[in-house]
Amino acid sequence: MTKYSLKNRCLLVLLLLAVINQAHADNGYKLWLEYNRITAPQQAAVYKQQLAYFIFPAASDQLKAAKTELLTGLDGMLSFIPRDTKAIISGQTFIVGTPRSLKSLSIVVPDGIGSEGYLIKTTLINQQKCTIIIANTDVGVLYGVFNFLKLIQIHQPINRLDISDHPHIMYRVLDHWDNLNRSVERGYAGSSIWNWHKLPGIVDQRYIDYARANASVGINGSVINNVNADALILSPQYLIKIQTLANVFRVYGIKIYLSVKFSSPVDLGGLKTADPLDATVKKWWADKADEIYHYIPDFGGFLVKANSEGQPGPQTYGRTHADGANMLADVLAPHHGIVMWRAFVYDNNVPDDRSKQAYNEFKPFDGKFRDNVIIQVKNGPIDFQPREPFHPLFGAMPNTSLMMEFQLTQEYLGFSTHLVYEAPLFAECLQADTYTQGKGSTVSRVLQGDFNKKLITGMAGVANIGSDLNWCGHPFAQANWYAFGRMAWNPDQSPAAIADDWLKMTFTNDAGFVSPVKRLMLESRENTVNYMTPLGLHHIMGVSTHYGPGPWVDNAGRPDWNATYYHKADSAGIGFNRTSTGSNALSQYAPEVKANWENLQTCPDEYLLWFHHLSWTYKMRSGKSLWDEIVHHYYMGADSVKQMTLTWNKMQGKVDAERFTEVQQLMQTQLAEATTWRDACVLYFQTFSKMPIEAIYAKPEHPLPYYKGMKFYYVPGIGGNNYMTN
């Protein structure tokens, strides 16, 4: 054998090994729709026997999509396609459809599942045992199919099923802060997935897979552009592009919404005013609505950010939020569209606690908005902080439709380099008791319209989706998209149960992986709060970019952009006094909530410095001084990331090497950044406390000037404009 041929053989072997490794690699593109092969022969055989035949007439696009998904999933998990049949073979036939598509079988849908719900049941039809997925509508069938596939993905038995489910929230929407130049404001997973230049001619497979993923968790709406909107989005040039996206999304039960700039009649229409009470302005919007519905007959409606952070709005013309929202609602009403009007407003000229401003501006207009207006309220009164108390508007506007706004993209939670499972954050807010209708008036019940059945209901999530191969930048950030969909469908679902399902669907059913990694996920948000903003601290991140710590920021151009505005650290202590002796923000909550948080004996440690300014020597429940408690939390938070990495390292071999290595590297980055947060904040606050860091803790790696002097260039997520937040 010559050296040349030997060399070629070696290259061939290396090439084959590379192909084999690539075949086993997983870049995360498939999200939780992996449909991993069930390798246990007996388990696979049981599923195949129970699904040997199926009856699934599919005439509509949505039923065709559901049927394709079902067959794709079964083929992926079982290497098996059931046989199409017309006769029912007892115990082996799977029947899917609506009463209309299955009219020959005379199947009745039970009451209560509505237009989007479904029934999955083992039952007798014509005296033969079979499994059915039945719904009133085609989209209900689609949701049922995805849930049925999930049962197999997580290895649940399907021989005795009785599942009846329906969404508890009407409008379940992803908000994309994507700009027309494909930058994504507060986006950390690459550029926008909307390739405007190639639309409408090119329909990227990614659009279809995006719609599939959303439908699989029941998301039924997508706002495809930034709340800091460009009026150009309403031009015919872009409407024809949006029409193409709408045609894709419609198949999966998803409506398109657009963020609109309130000054569009001036910017795009050439009018001299955008006054919502001006007749020419009303006509411009009515004509524009007619034009949009010509392109997109099932267009969902508008999302509006008005009179906040320099954005135009009705107050620009001496009008109210109700005037502006109702004008747009009136032009959409004939088309059955809605207006989602954001309550995220604050004014630099209002010399008051920023956390009070949304309540002060919107509470007086309770009951003044049209029936097709829903006020979109952030989960907390500041701005998507690692921890905030629930927003006081929840429960305070009983005659107004309110829509929750969560942030999936981790603007204040470490971007896409930190593993932070947000479902516990969602649940903490949703299960908080507002007491506005008595004990048990949780935010969840308010959102579901339990106290006013006439209201429309909604939940929005600021998307963490971009052009990265794995969609979200961090493999575990996908779980936040998944969890949002699940909790928008049913706000009372358990974060633990959702994490369990997601891990099994995305990685493996191996209990040796699922159990420890689920625990890691459930602890991750609290760990992050500890190394960033413990004990109720908030808004102390780097200016503009929001990257890294910046508790020293005091020159950001306006008071409430500065970290010092929020923590108010001085020689006497630290914390924002929002009690009756301070800003009195607590007066915006129900008396029971106010009393609980105002009293130092009952205020949870988690919100202590959110509501109180306390001395450094204040004695905590733990027996430590406030200073020592702060230090303890910062060090505990950073140490928790070390423990997280140790847990993950033990997972090698239980999941694919590609994602294992990616997460391992990300955790090292997270540990370094958590340590920076810890050291920078502890050293900065020590300049006020003048108290020592206990000897049991490692000394900070650098002196304070080092951290204050750190500069970060081209940080992702700025989005091409100068807005500080969204």
- Tell me if 479 is assigned to some domain: yes
Based on the fold, state whether residues 196 and 113 are members of the same structural domain: no
Q: Is the pLDDT of residue 624 over 60?
A: yes
| pLDDT value of position 33 | 98
- High-pLDDT (> 70) share of the chain, %: 95
**Orientation angle between helical segments 657-689 and 511-532, nearest 10 degrees:** 20
Alpha helices in 562-703 (DSSP H): 563-567, 591-598, 608-611, 626-649, 657-689
Per the structure, the complete domain to which residue 621 belongs is given by 530-576+613-708
Instruction: Tell me the per-residue pLDDT of 85-108, one tens digit each, with 9 for 90 and over.
Output: 989 999 999 999 999 999 989 888
Catalytic residue, chosen from 178, 230, 353, 383, is: 383
Q: Which residue has the tokens 């004008």?
A: 327
Q: Which of 158, 162, 165, 164 is nearest to 78 (CA)?
A: 158
> Does residue 189 surpass a pLDDT of 70?
yes
- Cβ density class 217-252: b for 16+ within 10 Å, e for less: bbbbbbbbbbbbbbbebbeeebbebbbbbbebbbbb
Let me know whether 160 and 177 are in one domain.
Answer: no
110-153 per-position pLDDT tens digit: 889 999 999 999 999 989 999 999 999 999 999 999 999 999 99
pLDDT of residue 349: 76
Q: Is the pLDDT of residue 724 over 50?
A: no
pLDDT bin (cut points 50, 70, 90) of residue 719 is low
- Same domain, yes or no: 100 and 239: no
C-beta separation of 438 from 213 below 8 A: no
Tell me the C-alpha distance between 632 and 685, whole Å. 13
DSSP state of 390: P
**pLDDT range class, residue 1, cuts 50, 70, 90:** very low
- 128 in the same domain as 220: no
Domain finish residue from 141, 165, 189? 165
The two counts, helices (H) then strands (E), for the chain are 21, 14
Q: Tell me what the mean pLDDT of segment 317-333 comes to.
A: 98
The active-site residue, picked from 34, 178, 275, 411, is 411
pLDDT of the residue at 11: 40
Detail the DSSP E strand segments found in 180-261.
Answer: 221-223, 255-259
pLDDT band, very low/low/confident/very high, at 455 (cuts 50, 70, 90): very high
CA distances 83 to 52, 130, 700, Å, are: 6, 14, 66
Give the pLDDT band (50/70/90) at residue 23.
very low
Q: Is the pLDDT of residue 656 over 60?
A: yes
Which tens digit of pLDDT belongs to each residue from 530-563?
999 999 999 999 999 999 999 999 999 889 999 9
Q: Grade residue 24 by pLDDT with cuts at 50, 70 and 90.
A: low
Same domain, 476 and 391: yes
Calpha distance 144→131 (Å, rounded): 12
Q: Is the CA virtual torsion 87, 88, 90, 95 positive or negative? A: positive
Nearest to 98 by CA among 79, 82, 84, 118: 118
Identify whether 405 is a catalytic site residue. Answer: no
In a domain, residue 20? The reply is no
**Model confidence band, residue 174 (pLDDT cutoffs 50, 70, 90):** very high
Measured distance CA(145)–CA(73) in Å, rounded: 10
**Is the domain of 547 the same as that of 619?**
yes
Specify if 25 maps to a domain. Answer: no
Token pair belonging to 43: 């388990």
- CA 583, 587, 591, 593 torsion-angle sign: negative
Q: Cα–Cα distance between 653 and 661 in angstroms, integer?
A: 11
- The type of residue at 610 is W
Instruction: Note whether 374 and 447 are same-domain residues.
Output: yes
Query: Does one domain contain both 413 and 498?
Result: yes
Q: Active site includes 411? A: yes
Q: What is the pLDDT of residue 376?
A: 98
**Parallel, antiparallel, or unpaired: how do β-strands 53-55 and 83-84 relate?**
parallel
Quick one: 190 and 152 in the same domain? no
Helix-helix angle 495-506:478-489, to 10 degrees: 130
Q: Each residue of 607-616: b (16+ CB within 10 Å) or e?
A: bbbbbbbbeb
Establish whether 428 is a catalytic residue: no
Whether 642 is covered by a domain: the verdict is: yes
Distance CA(347)–CA(157), nearest Å, equals 56
Task: Tell me: do 479 and 565 sit in the same domain.
Answer: no
Which of 69, 275, 309, 526 is labelled catalytic? 309
- Single residue among 471, 506, 541 that ends a domain in this structure: 506
**CATH code assigned at 151:** 3.30.379.10
Domain boundary among 149, 165, 181: 165
Are 688 and 557 in a shared domain?
yes
CATH number at residue 399: 3.20.20.80
Q: Does residue 406 sit within a domain?
A: yes
Domain count, the chain: 3
Mean pLDDT over residues 213-218, rounded?
Answer: 98
φ, ψ for residue 677, nearest 5 deg: -55, -50
**pLDDT tens-digit map of 243-290:** 999 999 999 999 999 999 999 999 999 999 999 999 999 999 999 999
Rounded to two decimals, the pTM is 0.96
Could you read off the pLDDT of 565-602 as tens digits, one per residue? 999 999 999 999 999 999 999 999 999 999 999 999 99
Give 573's strand partners. 570
* Long-range contact set of residues 649-655: C-beta below 8 Å, sequence gap at least 24: 650/516, 651/513, 651/516, 651/517, 654/507, 654/508, 654/510, 654/512, 654/513, 655/507, 655/508, 655/513
Give domain status of residue 515, yes or no. no
CA distances to 111, 302, 610 from 314, in Å: 44, 15, 32
- Name, in order, each residue with C-beta under 8 angstroms of 232's C-beta and a sequence gap of 6 or more: 180, 238, 268
Position 718 confidence tier, pLDDT thresholds 50, 70, 90? confident
Q: Is the pLDDT of residue 19 over 60?
A: no
Q: Would 325 be classed as within a structural domain?
A: yes
Query: Can you give the pLDDT at residue 351?
Result: 73
pLDDT of 20 > 50? The answer is no
Tell me what the mean pLDDT of segment 628-642 comes to: 98
Q: Is residue 289 part of a domain?
A: yes
Q: What pLDDT, in 10s, does the model give residues 378-394? A: 999 999 999 999 999 99
Q: What is the pLDDT of residue 347?
A: 76
Whether 193 and 55 map to the same domain: the answer is: no
Residue 200 has pLDDT above 70, yes or no: yes
